[in-house]
Amino acid sequence: MRVIAVDDEKIILDDFVEMLKNMSEITEAVGFTNCEKALKYISENAVDVAFLDIRMRAMDGITMAKRAKVIRPDINIIFLTAYPEYSLEAMRIHASGYLVKPAMEEDVRKELKDLRVPPEEVSGQRMKVQCFGNFEVYIDSYPCPFKYIKTKELLAYLVDRRGAFCSNGEILGALWEDKEVTISLENYLRNLVSDLRAVLKDADLDDVINKKKGMIRVVPELFDCDYYRWIDGEPSAINAFNGEYMSQYSWAEATLAGIVSKINN
């Protein structure tokens, strides 16, 4: 597990980072007294958990947490502070935990065992797909660089279909449900498919997409997906479900309803 800690009190920070480094479940721990440097590190390195002090001079921890989640949406935020009155605000940004200083090693371990987004277990898969919360795609721990925003939604729909072949007509109806299908829209879909295949090809992941005339699908066995692991009953995926599924896409509400129904039954 790779973690960072941010606190503008260097002595407190150094002691906390030293404690983290001595914990067997943590493979890397880096401390920062400067929020901007920490955000730059997050943008360039895979980070599973960020321990953030809330009240800092240059930038408060809540603001930094929001910016960190823009850079890396699956990062777990654990606030470490002497001010417990901020716990409600921390909950609003879906923090994984909240510790009051001075945090003891036992308390830290408890928070790490119950993260909102559990670190990916070793699976041998370079591509990771996050369906719970917002839909996100990572290749080698970095956000997938799609040319078009809509390419991401195309992949989301294919992931939702779990390996079933989808026709162009089905995809057009789902992604543009209120629009008339025109030649221009069909051409746009072809551009999205080309963009998706190009991104995967650049990463040597061509086989993730399987295409035949007028049909396309993903190959579920070739990437890691929290939703698929949830279906398989994997405990970490079950714990990761936060009541949201591909929340930026309205067509995903049907699958969310199915998940909630299965949990309630």
Q: Going from the N-terminus, what domains does the chain have, and what CATH number goes with each? A: 2-113 (3.40.50.2300), 128-264 (1.10.10.10)
The span from the CA of 175 to the CA of 154, in Å, is 8
Closest CA to 132 of 222, 14, 29, 252: 252
Closest CA to 113 of 49, 162, 57: 49
pTM exceeding 0.85: no
- Structural contact between residues 199 and 151, judged by C-beta atoms closer than 8 angstroms: yes
- Structural contact between residues 5 and 56, judged by C-beta atoms closer than 8 angstroms: no
Q: DSSP letter for 204, please.
A: T
At residue 123, the pLDDT reads 52
Mutual orientation of helices 183-202 and 149-160 as an angle, nearest 10°? 80
Within 8 A by CB and 6+ apart from 199, the residues are: 144, 145, 146, 147, 151
At residue 122, the pLDDT reads 44
- Please report where in the chains the tokens 């699908």 appear, as a residue: 217
At residue 240, the pLDDT reads 79
pLDDT per residue of the chain (265 residues) written in tens, 0 to 9: 899 999 999 999 999 999 999 888 898 999 999 999 999 999 888 899 999 998 888 888 889 999 998 888 889 999 987 766 666 666 666 788 888 888 899 999 989 988 877 775 545 688 999 999 999 999 987 889 999 999 999 999 999 999 999 999 999 999 998 899 999 999 999 999 999 999 999 999 999 999 998 899 999 999 999 999 999 998 778 877 889 999 999 999 999 999 999 999 8
